[in-house]
Each structure stands twice: as C-alpha cells, then as structure tokens.
Structure 1
C-alpha cells in the first residue's frame, strides 16, 4: 500500500483496488492543517486512513512545520 504525496494538490493519496483514499491539508507558511480524510467504503477497515495520517505527520515533522488538525480523525493522532 503506497502513499503518494501530491504536493501540487496538497494531499496524500493511496490508490487501491481502483479506489482512491486521501488526506488533504492546507499549508500556510510554516503551518499545516490536516483538514480532511476520506476513505471510500470499499477500502474501510484496512488501515488506509491510519497509513495516510502517519505519512502526512511524518512529512510535516520532517519539514519542521507547526501541525494542526481540523479533521477529527487526524486529531486522534495528535493527542
């Protein structure tokens, strides 16, 4: 399960079984807000959302960004 960072679209995606899951973010200077996670019903329960969030947080930390999350799912990882 490969996570692809589409920086030109401000998102991380996983394409699996011809379906696309994504984690969207907004970047403002040194601040990043992870604002939306979407996993289609066909991919739910397979750890796809968690893999997206972990990849996004790893990227943000490597970039030394200030991380926030308006997405409830990402908030669980920041506690």
Structure 2
C-alpha cells in the first residue's frame, strides 16, 4: 500500500492518497497570517480503520511548523492526535 500526503494550498487542504486514490483530507482556515486552524478531517469510508488519519495529521502539522506557523486544533481528530503526540503541543495556539 503506497500512501502520500500532499498540500493543496488553493483549497487549504492536506490530502492523503493510497495507491493513487484519494483516501481523506484535513481542511484548515487561516484566521490570521500566522495560523492554520485545522477544522475538519475526513477519512473516506473505504479507507477507515487503516490508520491513515495519523500520517495525514502528522504531515499537516509538520508542514505547518516548517512554514513557521502555529496551529489551532478545532477538529477533534487533530486534538486527539496532539494529545497522543505531546511533541506537537508547542505548535498549538490556544
């Protein structure tokens, strides 16, 4: 199973594909120039239960950090990921 996460900046969305097929996405809004508010994460029904939300959210947060931005975890999936991965706590703006 080949998976890839890409950043669609026009749609403000990180997309995970599996073997070339879209498996899910993490959407965000930008309430200010230095913040991405992750407000919606979806794994498509055919791909649920395969552990795809973690690499999707990890990549989204890693790229947010690399861009010098902060993140808001409005989405419960992102909140859960951060609670299980405390190394991302410093990235989250409360």
What TM-score do the two structures reach when normalised by structure 2? Answer: 0.76
In the alignment, structure 2 segments of 5+ residues that lack a partner are 84-94
Runs (5+) with no aligned partner, structure 1:
none
Of 26, 29, 45, 1:26 maps to 29
2:8 maps to what in 1?
6
Q: In terms of Rg, which structure is larger?
A: 2
Q: Where do 4+ consecutive residues of structure 1 move more than 2 Å? A: 15-20
Instruction: Establish whether residue 35 from structure 1 lines up as the match of residue 42 from structure 2.
Output: no
- By relative contact order (CA 8 Å, sep 6+), the higher-ranking structure is 1
Match of 1:58 in 2: 62
Count of residue pairs brought into register by the alignment? 79
8 Å Cα contact 1:6-1:12 kept in structure 2: yes
Q: How much has 1:46 moved relative to structure 2?
A: 1.1
* TM-score between both structures, scaled by the size of structure 1: 0.89
